Amino acid sequence: MHSSAISLMYRMEDKKAAKDTAPSKTACDNYLVNLVDSPGHIDFSSDVSTATRLCDGAIIVIDVLEGLCTQTHAVLYKALKERMRPCLVLNKIDRLAVELQLSPIEAFYHLQRVLENVNALASSLLRSELIRIQEQDDTITSLSIEEEEKLTCAWNFAPEQGNVIFAAALDSWGFGTGRFATIWAQRLGVNRSVLLKYFFDNYAINTSTKKLFRCDPDNNGEIPMFVSLILQPIWDLYHACILRQDTVEAEKMAKEVIGLEMMPREINSKDPRGTLQAIMRRWLPLPEALLRMVVRCVPSPGTAQKERMDTLFQRQRVLNKLQPVSSNNIVSQRVSKIKRDVETCSTSPEADVIVYIAKMSEVRVAELSPRDVHMLSEDLSVQEREDTPNGLGEVTFMALARVYSGVLRRESRIFVLTHRHDPLSSSDEGDTDGTPPTGMSTAIEVPPGSFGLYFCLGPSVCPMEEAPAGNIVGIVGLQKLLLKTGTLSSTWACEPMTSITFQSKPLVRVAVEPKSHRDLPRLESGLQRLYMYDPVVEIGVDDTGQHTMTCLGELHLEQCLKALRERFAGCEVNVSAPLVPFRETVVSGSVQARAVLPPPWKDTSGLDTAFGGRVRMVSASQTVSVTLRCCALPFDTTAVLEESVQGALVLLSSFVSQALSPAAVPESVQGLWRRVISSLETAVADGESDPAWTLTSGEQEEKIESSELFSRILAFGPKGCGCNVLIFAKDVKADIWQHLVPSDKQAQGDRDDEEKQGKLLHSIQRGQSVCRSEQLSVSFDEVWSRLQSSVLAGFQTTAAAGPLMLEQMHGVCFVIESVAVTAAVVGIALDEVEVSVNGNGSFSSGMAVSGQLLSEMRDAFRLSFLSRPMRVVEPVFACDLQCDQSQLGSLYAVLNKRRGEVIKEDIIEGTSLFLLSATLPVSESFGFAQELLKKTSGAGTAPQLMFSHWTIHQDDPFWKPTTAEEREDHGDQVVEPNQARLFIDSVRRRKGLPIEEKVVVFAEKQRNLTKMK
């Protein structure tokens, strides 16, 4: 169930029809159509994402019974983001006549409602996309008024525009209103354009006066043209063949009404469905209607690439804006020339070759030409031949790519550019056609003749010598240089194209191992090949050494395991139960950690010193002290950071790490920052935000200042781009002590006495400095620089593995309230410490901060987390369901059993079918489809599950009865743990961590002595 590509040559036999079909193109006879078919199931949405990068147009197929679903939203949004031209196919119209048995007039109004819903969805997506572009306030990516109008017109589905066809793929027929407008305009002698404009509307025609008038079927009994001239003959054929099983009547109707002379072998009384299909194929051939719509609506590659330039090179344009390069630079001039070639889809000899590889597919070596088989003989080593499963033959990988500029030939000299390649970073202004500069490892040269080119013909391939720009080709011989995607160029002075973004991320993770330990090398090799083959699957090794595989859903997991066993590894494997990822978070409030937490958390060292999320960490050497606090991020802020992880948040983190001002952040990233600030201000106004965002305790609330808050943020985590934040308190300060930093007991004493004794030297607020002499001064930033690396490393480590079950944290904020160091750490010259001052005024102290500070900071972050009320965060799927009214109760029972929640419920007008939108926890989704079909007796459709969001499980995993009412209901001790605690125990048990459970080591069955006699 993976995508496949095919190249079709479509020939227009009627010159007049060709002009009517493609008015915006040059009239010609032949059109080359590169078609990429991708599965519609949500588990294979990654194939849809790869197809959107290769193609300029999208054919969106919608079931007229089910209407819009979750995947329809995702596909439309992805096509809009990639600036594709959409075409709509309303499929399964035959079910309206056969299954629902609607009349032609009822079917007409049903089709109108479906089309209105699609247009409403497309309009809302387009409006949100235009607003997003305007909020960026970026002159590079902004659209002109003409471009907005053109985009709006392209995303309006209307039969008169030729971008909608009505079809029944099972019977291989389909039509557009343009075909019938041409036929009836000739028969009735009316204007074709007028007839086409009102064909799919409530208009009827007076055959005597040849005038159109608006009809009202309810009052006057008048029938719209679309019903009387199109749907009625189709309905009569279906009633004759399918409902009455009368093939003789169907043949008579085909001859008299349609004007078709059917061959005797095409009429089979024992096969009415076959007879119907033969008539409909000749009358309304689906391939003709589909390809005619593609030729009319989808622009040529030259036009399409000009419209899609902002999506093809979006990331590079942002980087160019951050790092401006002189226009006189030879490399920058070559980069600009390449972009002009891509924009015009140039095939001139001077144009550079630019190719983007969207995915790696598998092809049999037997399909390749003898020349390429000989070329790949070195790649097909003896070990790979042994690993090839019996009966499948030798296979290799073929890159599915599109040529965006130039002409790709077998003898072309090309470079493979990784996603991190940056040609403008090189100071070498020499020959851009030669070898890459020394030290540039992101451009790998491919020798001429070391790869082969092929036409894609579905499961087969056909060799070719060259491929001009605008074509989709297969390339063999690059499997050693690429993993999944990449950019090919004839010069190293080229920016890589933007990486593909996927609709959803994989969540279903399993551990795999071979049944026989001798097959372990095969399994490892097979996992590598599977990772290269599937665009979205993730392969890894966990802490215990197990090989793990993460997929999008159950069906995707099933297909990946089948491919691993049969094609890639060729051995039997054992698969563990699905490993669902969880996250850890905190909520508002405070707890007595030592009294509430059970073992093993209760035995954590230093837990008595933490309360309300505040911890004061003193290093073992008493040279460093850090006071920090843990709080929860507002829900909206966490959602903004979570959805921006893959985009601007990475750039924003780089600016935070460099301590730059918001003015230095590009406009494309400031949109994210404004959303973060807006969510925080809303939370403060509603009383949901922690005081750390605005003021310290005891002060009045103030409005959050963007620049002030920006400068206080230290890092995002984990990995620098998560939804957890490390921030300075507004009144953070740094204390400098003379000898040793006081411990917790000493810090509780009289601070004034400490100052009188001369132990506290300075207390420096953030942004301030203290002068020690004419040559020496100590600032807050200098004190913090000595601790920054250890504190940030401890934060990233804690955010990646929390104390509950070593899972990622979610929506947690750590606030640095104060730091304290000794004079020796910052290098202040005292009588007891010898310090040398360099010529540039910097300090050179012989006393350095110990590397143990990193682990101590990690423990401090965890203690701060444990002293807050903790919760488990679990992933949630969104699913669309369809069920008959008679089995609706059973569907609700299955959802309630699995903690599902119905969000929306609609009924399809004129039927007893209900459409439901629901959410379902990922941990409860396994086996959901099978149970649903079983409980509803097949009346409920198989759900398509797509990741929706993360939600906080409201159960307190460490809840204990405290009030008299709770003790009366539950007793002094909770006998059965709640669902959140079960999640924690299952994850800790899987990871080999200690849990609180009683295990009977030695047990003997009690004997009844009376029975032993």
pLDDT in tens, 667-688: 556 666 667 767 666 655 544 4
What's the CA gap between 710 and 707, in Å, rounded? 5
Cβ–Cβ < 8 Å for 512, 574 = yes
Greatest Cα pair distance in the chain: 115
Over 80: is that where the pLDDT of 903 sits? yes
How confident is residue 708, by pLDDT bands cut at 50, 70 and 90?
low
Of all helices (H) and strands (E), which one includes residue 779? strand 777-779
Over 60: is that where the pLDDT of 752 sits? no
**Identity of the residue numbered 16:** K
CB atoms closer than 10 angstroms to residue 394: 14
How confident is residue 658, by pLDDT bands cut at 50, 70 and 90?
low
> What is the distance in angstroms between the CA of the first residue and the CA of the last residue of the chain?
67
Over 50: is that where the pLDDT of 622 sits? yes
C-alpha closest to that of 164 among 152, 179, 150, 149:
179
pLDDT of residue 746: 54
DSSP 852: T
How confident is residue 1013, by pLDDT bands cut at 50, 70 and 90?
very low
Q: Which tops the pLDDT comparison, 879 or 651?
A: 879
Q: What is the pLDDT of residues 828-860, one digit of tens each?
A: 544 433 333 333 433 333 334 456 788 889 999
What's the CA gap between 6 and 471, in Å, rounded? 11
What's the CA gap between 430 and 417, in Å, rounded? 19
Q: Do you find a cis peptide bond into 301, omega within 30 degrees of 0?
A: no
Q: Which tops the pLDDT comparison, 943 or 1007?
A: 943
pLDDT of residue 602: 80
pLDDT of residue 841: 39
Secondary structure (3-state) at 467: strand
Q: What is the pLDDT of residues 525-557, one digit of tens each?
A: 889 889 988 888 889 888 778 899 998 888 888
Mean pLDDT of 907-916: 77
Residues 6+ apart with CB under 8 A from 274: 268
Q: What is the pLDDT of residues 125-134, one digit of tens each?
A: 888 888 777 7
| Paired tokens of 426 | 């090189």
How confident is residue 147, by pLDDT bands cut at 50, 70 and 90?
confident
pLDDT of residue 639: 79
C-alpha closest to that of 762 among 749, 772, 750:
772
pLDDT of residue 390: 41
**Identity of the residue numbered 588:** S
How confident is residue 69, by pLDDT bands cut at 50, 70 and 90?
confident
Q: What is the pLDDT of residues 439-498, one digit of tens each?
A: 777 888 888 888 889 988 887 888 888 999 999 999 988 888 888 888 999 888 888 888
Q: Is 1002 exposed, middle or buried (0-12, 13-18, 19+ CB in 10 A)?
A: exposed
pLDDT of residue 843: 38
pLDDT of residue 60: 92
Q: Which range (158-172, 285-299, 354-368, 370-384) has the least confidence?
A: 370-384
pLDDT of residue 234: 92
What's the CA gap between 389 and 594, in Å, rounded? 58
pLDDT of residue 1002: 65
What's the CA gap between 528 and 368, in Å, rounded? 23
C-alpha closest to that of 823 among 941, 748, 741, 700:
741
Return the C-alpha torsion angle 586, 592, 596, 598, nearest 10: 90
Over 90: is that where the pLDDT of 40 sits? no
DSSP 285: B
Of all helices (H) and strands (E), which one includes residue 101? none
C-alpha closest to that of 550 among 803, 875, 894:
875
Q: Do you find a cis peptide bond into 600, omega within 30 degrees of 0?
A: yes
| Paired tokens of 386 | 């042994």
Mean pLDDT of 18-46: 69
Q: What is the pLDDT of residues 424-452, one digit of tens each?
A: 776 655 567 777 777 777 888 888 888 88
pLDDT cut 90: percent of the chain above it: 13
Q: Is 303 exposed, middle or buried (0-12, 13-18, 19+ CB in 10 A)?
A: middle
DSSP 255: I
What's the CA gap between 537 and 45, in Å, rounded? 12
pLDDT of residue 323: 47
Mean residue pLDDT across the chain = 79
Q: Is 358 exposed, middle or buried (0-12, 13-18, 19+ CB in 10 A)?
A: buried
How confident is residue 381, by pLDDT bands cut at 50, 70 and 90?
low
C-alpha closest to that of 679 among 645, 635, 723, 632:
635
Q: Which tops the pLDDT comparison, 317 or 645?
A: 645
Task: Encode 913-965 in three state secondary structure.
Answer: EEEEEEEEEHHHCCCHHHHHHHHCCCCCCCCEEEEEEEEECCCCCCCCCCCHH
CB atoms closer than 10 angstroms to residue 219: 7
- DSSP letters of 617-639? EE-TTSSEEEEEEEEEPPHHHHH
Over 90: is that where the pLDDT of 759 sits? no
How confident is residue 722, by pLDDT bands cut at 50, 70 and 90?
confident
CB atoms closer than 10 angstroms to residue 387: 18
pLDDT of residue 88: 94
Cβ–Cβ < 8 Å for 739, 681 = no
Over 60: is that where the pLDDT of 729 sits? yes
pLDDT of residue 495: 86
Over 80: is that where the pLDDT of 633 sits? yes
Q: Where are the beta strands (DSSP E) in 414-520?
A: 414-417, 443-446, 452-457, 460-464, 466-468, 472-476, 486-489, 508-514
Q: Which range (651-655, 764-768, 857-861) has the least confidence?
A: 651-655
pLDDT of residue 508: 85
Mean pLDDT of 188-207: 86
What's the CA gap between 51 and 45, in Å, rounded? 10
- DSSP letters of 313-327? SHHHHHHHHHS---T
| Partner residues linked to 902 by β-bridges | 918
**Identity of the residue numbered 152:** T
pLDDT of residue 127: 86
pLDDT of residue 506: 85
Mean pLDDT of 895-918: 84
Q: What is the pLDDT of residues 209-255, one digit of tens each?
A: 888 888 876 666 678 889 988 999 999 999 888 888 888 888 888 88
